Structure 1
Amino acid sequence: MRKLAIIFVLLSTIACKNKVIQKPVNYEDDREKFMQFSQDRNKQILAEDNELIANYIDSIGQKFVRTQYGFWISNSGIATETMAKTGDVVKYDYEVSNFSNEIIYSEEELGTQTIMMGRSDLPRGIQVALQMIEKGDSATVLLPSFLAYGGYGDRNKIKGNEPLIFKIHIQTIEKQPR
Structure 2
Amino acid sequence: MKKIIYLLLLSLVFACGGPEPRKPIETKSGSFIKESVERNKRLLEEEEVLIQQYIAIDSIHDYQNSAAGSWYSYEIKNDEASYTPKEDDLVTLTYNLRSLNNDTIYSMEEVGVLNYKVDKQELFPGLRSGVKLLKEKETAIFIFPSSMAFGYHGDNNKIGPNTPIMATIEIFKITKKEDLI
TM-score (norm 2): 0.79
The Cα shift of 1:133 comes to: 0.7
Of 54, 59, 66 in structure 1, the residue corresponding to residue 52 of structure 2 is 54
User: In angstroms, what is the RMSD of aligned CA positions?
Assistant: 1.7
**How many residues in Structure 1 have an aligned counterpart in Structure 2?**
152
Q: 2:167 matched to which residue of 1?
A: 166
Hey, which bits of structure 1, 4+ residues long, moved more than 3 A? none
Which structure would you say has the larger Rg?
A: 2
Aligned sequence identity (%): 30
The Cα shift of 1:120 comes to: 1.1
The Cα shift of 1:37 comes to: 1.1
Q: 2:38 matched to which residue of 1?
A: 40
Secondary structure of the equivalent of 1:146? coil
2:34 counterpart letter in structure 1: Q
Q: Does 1:25 align with 2:39?
A: no
Cα deviation, 1:35-73, whole Å, max 9, x if unaligned, reads 121011101110011011101111111211001111111
Secondary structure of the equivalent of 2:170? strand
Secondary structure of the equivalent of 1:172? strand
Q: 2:7 matched to which residue of 1?
A: none
1:24 counterpart letter in structure 2: P
Measure the CA separation in 2 of the matches of 1:118 and 1:85: 8
Measure the CA separation in 2 of the matches of 1:48 and 1:111: 32
The Cα shift of 1:26 comes to: 2.6
**Relative to total residues, which structure has the larger helix share, 1 or 2?**
1
Give 5+ residue unaligned stretches, structure 1.
1-21
Measure the CA separation in 1 of the matches of 2:132 and 2:58: 25
Give 5+ residue unaligned stretches, structure 2.
1-21
2:137 counterpart letter in structure 1: G
Secondary structure of the equivalent of 1:177? helix
Q: 1:13 matched to which residue of 2?
A: none
Q: 1:8 matched to which residue of 2?
A: none
Superposition map of 1:43-82 within 5 A: 43-61=41-59, 62-75=61-74, 82=83
